[in-house]
Amino acid sequence: MEKLMIAGGDLLKGTVRVSGAKNSAVALIPATILADSPVTIEGLPDISDVEILKGLLEEIGGKVDLRNDDMTVDPSSMISMPLPNGKVKMLRASYYLMGAMLGRFKKAVIGLPGGCHLGPRPIDQHIKGFQALGASVTNEQGAIYLRADELRGARIYLDVVSVGATINIMLAAVRAKGRTIIENAAKEPEIIDVATLLTNMGANIKGAGTDIIRIDGVDSLHGCHHTIIPDRIEAGTYMIIGAAVGGGVLIDNVIPQHLESLIAKLREMGVRIESGDDQVFIERGPNPLKAVDIKTLVYPGFATDLQQPFTTLLTNATGSCVVTDTIYGARFKHIDELRRMNADIKVEGRTAIINGPVQLQGAKVKASDLRAGAALVIAGLMAEGITEVTGLEHIDRGYSHLVEKLTGLGATVWRESMTKEELEQLKST
Ligand code: EPU
């Protein structure tokens, strides 16, 4: 096992290229199950979630060729193999195998997903959707059993706006008989990306990106080529890094409209930002950062996934900032670690109150989840001295070539093997 070492205090400059979107990738890869000939997805991020999904598609008989960032999946010999345990538990997004396998085989057995611990993460809306399409759904010993004689289009109102449920219902509905209407659908760019792939495969989907999606079922779907969208959360993370310690950072391969809420907040803080078609230039500037409040909301509101990295930046703002996470009220596991680094933060319920500015100090900290990891990496870059971040397996789930990208900007960052004593200590915490 490795830890990430960061020597803080460097002024970062240069260009960083954003990879393909993790939260699209984890849906696009299962979506290939629905085709009957090879599908190629171009521009995938080099992250462990992609490797795990590749393994899962192979387990059910898919032929998968992953070369550089492009994956070709031949789904023609896939079978409806039960996946109650193993790799399926290693990532939360394995729930997309439910919709995709149900859509293709009318049955699936999928272990209940793992993933980041952000407090309760129910999948009741996914299940409500599958049931509305005619599937019976039971939970037996930690695995979800789905079965349908036939899937029939239905009108489904989501009680909670959910990215996962919206995509999962689309996956199950594209080959169902008749029309499905998803009301109160999520509008995240990743949903449009999945709908674009499915449409290229021959599906009939209208309204992706709005809160009403209409799907007219088709009998079969065919292979195609698809290029994934850039990762708006990775891009946002580097923008925050640029605002925190940047002497002029150009973020390349980004869709600036996907990040409007972050750009607005950074400008409010006094950060200089210029955006082009697929690039954003960001510079910290000479003035102290102004305090701002944020509240996470569904897209196009401020993304919950950027709340943790943004909180780290706020430790350097002058005054008091209030951060409220309305999506995941318990997404504050990074706060204790930031406190170890000298941050002045209080958590009350769904809200964190940050007082600044403080000079963060290097410390030994642990990433409890993916975006907490990003928050700690940013803290390390801002801190005086050396920061050691453990829990790298979380960061590797979502940040492609993190060390190379940061080093390319002039950061002093490296990975080191953990000693036996450190591993024992980590296990006991
Ligand atoms: N919810 C329900 N019932 C459901 C589904 C969701 O109550 O059936 C609630 C959740 O508990 C949460 C809210 O609805 O409070 C939104 O959840 P959503 O379903 O939208 O989240 P998700 O699909 O499980 C995706 C991303 C997350 C990101 C959220 C919110 C993937 C694989 N994950 O999760 O990304 O935080 O949307 O935007 O797409 C990350 O990248 O670090 C990450 C955790």
pLDDT in tens, 380-395: 999 999 999 999 999 9
At residue 285 the predicted structure's pLDDT band, cuts being 50, 70 and 90, is confident
Buried/exposed 78-115: b ≥16 CB within 10 Å, e otherwise: bebeebbeebbbbbbbbbbbbbbbbbbbbbbbbbbbeb
Distance of alpha carbon 52 from alpha carbon 356, whole angstroms: 41
Spacing, Cα 356 to ligand 1 middle (Å): 30
Mean per-residue pLDDT for 128-154? 95
Active-site hit among 116, 174, 191, 280: 116
Spacing, Cα 164 to ligand 1 middle (Å): 6
Residue 127 CB less than 6 A away from ligand 1: no
3-state secondary structure of 70: strand
At residue 424 the predicted structure's pLDDT band, cuts being 50, 70 and 90, is confident
Domains of the chain: 2-19+230-428 (3.65.10.10), 22-227 (3.65.10.10)
3-state secondary structure of 267: helix
Tokens of 422: 């450190």
Using CA positions, which residue lies closest to atom 4 of ligand 1? 123
Using CA positions, which residue lies closest to atom 24 of ligand 1? 164
Residue 121 has pLDDT above 90, yes or no: no
Q: In what order do the strands lie in the sheet with 107-111?
A: 107-111, 143-147, 136-140
Spacing, Cα 20 to ligand 1 middle (Å): 19
Mean per-residue pLDDT for 279-304? 96
Mean per-residue pLDDT for 257-281? 97
Distance of alpha carbon 135 from alpha carbon 177, whole angstroms: 13
Distance of alpha carbon 17 from alpha carbon 10, whole angstroms: 20
Residue 47 CB less than 6 A away from ligand 1: no
Which among 271, 276, 349, 337 is positioned nearest to 309, based on CA atoms? 337
Spacing, Cα 168 to ligand 1 middle (Å): 12
At residue 117 the predicted structure's pLDDT band, cuts being 50, 70 and 90, is low
Asked which of 63-77, 206-220, 377-391, 412-426 is least confident by mean pLDDT, the reply is 412-426
Residue 290 has pLDDT above 80, yes or no: yes
Asked which of 20-34, 123-137, 311-325, 414-428 is least confident by mean pLDDT, the reply is 414-428
At residue 30 the predicted structure's pLDDT band, cuts being 50, 70 and 90, is very high
Residue 26 CB less than 6 A away from ligand 1: yes
Mean per-residue pLDDT for 185-194? 98
Which tens digit of pLDDT belongs to each residue from 302-346? 999 999 999 999 999 999 999 999 999 889 999 999 999 999 999
Residue 351 has pLDDT above 70, yes or no: yes
Q: How many residues does the chain have?
A: 429
CA atoms within 13 A on the CB side of 249: 31
Phi/psi at 140 (nearest 5 deg)?
-125, 115
The answer to whether residues 352 and 362 touch, using CB atoms and an 8 Å cutoff, is: no
- Tell the burial category of 48 from Cβ atoms under 10 Å away from its Cβ (0-12, 13-18, 19+): middle
Q: How far separated are the first and last CA of the chain, in Å rounded?
A: 16
**pLDDT score of 422:** 81
Q: Where are the beta strands (DSSP E) in 12-170?
A: 12-17, 39-42, 63-67, 70-74, 107-111, 136-140, 143-147, 155-157
Mean per-residue pLDDT for 405-416? 98
Using CA positions, which residue lies closest to atom 7 of ligand 1? 122
**pLDDT score of 153:** 98
Residue 191 CB less than 6 A away from ligand 1: no
**pLDDT score of 380:** 98
Spacing, Cα 63 to ligand 1 middle (Å): 29
Residue 115 has pLDDT above 60, yes or no: no
Residue 116 has pLDDT above 60, yes or no: no
Distance of alpha carbon 49 from alpha carbon 26, whole angstroms: 7
Residue 408 has pLDDT above 80, yes or no: yes
Choosing from 162, 170, 191, 304 the residue with most ligand 1 atoms within 8 A of its CB, the one to mutate for a pocket test is: 162
Amino acid at 236: G
3-state secondary structure of 104: helix
Name residues whose C-beta falls within 8 Å of residue 151's C-beta, 6 or more positions apart in sequence: 102, 103, 106, 133, 134, 135, 172, 173, 175, 176, 177, 217
DSSP secondary structure letter of residue 171: H
Tokens of 68: 């550089």
Residue 429 has pLDDT above 70, yes or no: no
Give the mean pLDDT of the chain. 95
CA 375 to chain centre: 14
Distance of alpha carbon 289 from alpha carbon 99, whole angstroms: 45
Residue 25 CB less than 6 A away from ligand 1: no
At residue 142 the predicted structure's pLDDT band, cuts being 50, 70 and 90, is confident
Using CA positions, which residue lies closest to atom 12 of ligand 1? 327
pTM assigned to the model: 0.96
Phi/psi at 121 (nearest 5 deg)?
-130, 75
Which atom belonging to ligand 1 lies closest to the Cα atom of 93?
32
Distance of alpha carbon 400 from alpha carbon 44, whole angstroms: 10
**pLDDT score of 427:** 73
At residue 419 the predicted structure's pLDDT band, cuts being 50, 70 and 90, is confident
**pLDDT score of 119:** 61
Mean per-residue pLDDT for 357-379? 97
Residue 113 has pLDDT above 90, yes or no: no
**pLDDT score of 368:** 94
Residue 163 CB less than 6 A away from ligand 1: yes
Residue identified by tokens 């701002």 is 292
Per-residue CA distances from 328 to 104, 157, 165, 310 (Å): 32, 21, 16, 15
Residue 407 has pLDDT above 70, yes or no: yes
Residue 118 has pLDDT above 60, yes or no: no
**pLDDT score of 96:** 97
At residue 162 the predicted structure's pLDDT band, cuts being 50, 70 and 90, is very high
Residue 394 CB less than 6 A away from ligand 1: no
On the question of a cis peptide bond just before residue 357, with omega within 30 degrees of 0, the verdict is yes
Spacing, Cα 288 to ligand 1 middle (Å): 34
- Whether 116 is catalytic is yes
Residue 158 CB less than 6 A away from ligand 1: no
**pLDDT score of 120:** 62
Spacing, Cα 299 to ligand 1 middle (Å): 12
Mean per-residue pLDDT for 185-193? 98
Residue identified by tokens 């699209």 is 24
Residue 305 CB less than 6 A away from ligand 1: yes
